[in-house]
Chain A
């Protein structure tokens, strides 16, 4: 078993009076892809967003319990959320490149975090990140073109390059391939599998097949509860909880 990267204990989340996450405890392993699955509104995205404090930006949202990154409480008042988000990167459902050049999209994080000194070092970071995102060969001759001019699949890989440029330790992905065609989806999935060598990857997906294909661990959420968490191979062949089976096999539940 791999080391525990993120450890959540008794996490509760409220949006005003709405109890969105109920007592969730989970240990996310390093160098592993963990899939969060569950019906819409089950809390999987909310929980994902807790891991890099994206919910801080929502006034009515209240988070209780502990979330530890390498044993350190990420909700400690001493922790700077901006620094945290450099360590815990995020990729969203809809590709959202900055309206800047391809180069500047990737260079943005390393610049603001002071991760590269000088142009040549920054060039190296941009190239390495684009290569990791399997985009380099397609864009190397037009790095100054706008990021928004790329195809949907390329834009999403650009966002992944941007996320990995700050050398994060955890990569959160909220339905990263739901707006992409099968080829672009396969490229993103291949990429996720490669990224696993370096980071812990947590992916929220509505596609059961995608969760089965890319993840080693699967967590099933339902009505704000974590119903079942285990090896993906076991969840998809012989789930323990009948609610998990009902959901993944497409039955009314």
Chain B
């Protein structure tokens, strides 16, 4: 299929929205990276910058939604064009959520730096965050290049993030049993780990949008859930 619309302004509108998605993606990648780094380095100032930068991400999401509504109203996109607009709306929502989780991580960092460090925990969280950051980078590449295979790969990797979360969950339990004075810090660290695990879910959802955008169908196989923790927790997700 030719890339260009007869009406060039339509292409310009779509390109402008995609550019905003990529800009958002870049900011969210940085937010994950910096927030995990602030925790690892116990850097309160860096954490404050992450919290501040989230406003930009939120503003971009609003812009994307506004632009998408304009294209729907003025250009009446159909077929692949319609899927492009629908997917940018969902993807921007996913990115905004990931940004919020990074901001939450930075907030908890500000609390955690006031307490004694939990041995090894921030390193494990940093590794988990790095994996999600890589997944996000790859899914944005998959989006730009309409690469279904890469999107599938990202979906599969969410499994690893789930595993890392489960391992951390067990580890935090032992710390808390060892010494009740660790409970406050471990509760914060647990929320952080859970939030990173949720970031992975949002990145997976973006991967599914890429597959929908290219093929017209969402993948319908259920991803194997690797959450050994009580099912009641599933229900709240």
Contact = CB atoms under 8 A, between A and B. Distances in A.
Contacts, number: 47
Contacts of A209: 76
Given A237-B83, A237-B216, A238-B216, A246 B78 contact: no
Which of A212, A237, A249, A250 counts the most B-chain CB atoms under 10 A from its CB?
A249
Interface stretch (B5-13, B39-47, B49-57, B111-119): B5-13
Contacts of B120: none
A191 interface: no
B82 A237 contact: yes
A244 B6 CA distance: 15
A218 B5 CA distance: 22
A245 interface: yes
Contacts of B216: 237-238
A168 interface: no
Contact of A236 (B3, B5, B7, B78): B78
B1 A248 contact: no
A209 B3 CA distance: 21
Interface residues of B, number: 18
Interface in A56-104: none
Interface string A235-253: 0111100101110111111
B138 interface: no
A236 B77 CA distance: 10
A248 B77 CA distance: 9
A15 B224 CA distance: 61
A227 interface: no
Contacts of A244: 79
B79 A251 contact: no
Nearest to A239: B79
A251 B82 contact: no
A250 B79 contact: no
Contact of A248 (B2, B4, B7, B78): B78
A251 B84 CA distance: 15
A4 interface: no
B115 to A, nearest CB: 53
B7 A246 contact: no
Given A238-B217, A250-B6, 17 more contacts: A208-B78, A237-B82, A237-B83, A237-B216, A244-B79, A245-B80, A246-B2, A249-B78, A251-B2, A251-B3, A251-B4, A251-B5, A251-B6, A252-B4, A252-B5, A252-B6, A253-B1
22 contacts: A209-B76, A212-B78, A236-B78, A236-B79, A236-B82, A237-B78, A237-B79, A238-B79, A238-B83, A239-B79, A244-B79, A245-B1, A245-B79, A248-B78, A250-B6, A251-B1, A251-B2, A252-B2, A252-B4, A252-B5, A253-B1, A253-B2
Interface of B: 1-7, 10, 76-83, 216-217
Interface of A: 208-209, 212, 236-239, 242, 244-246, 248-253
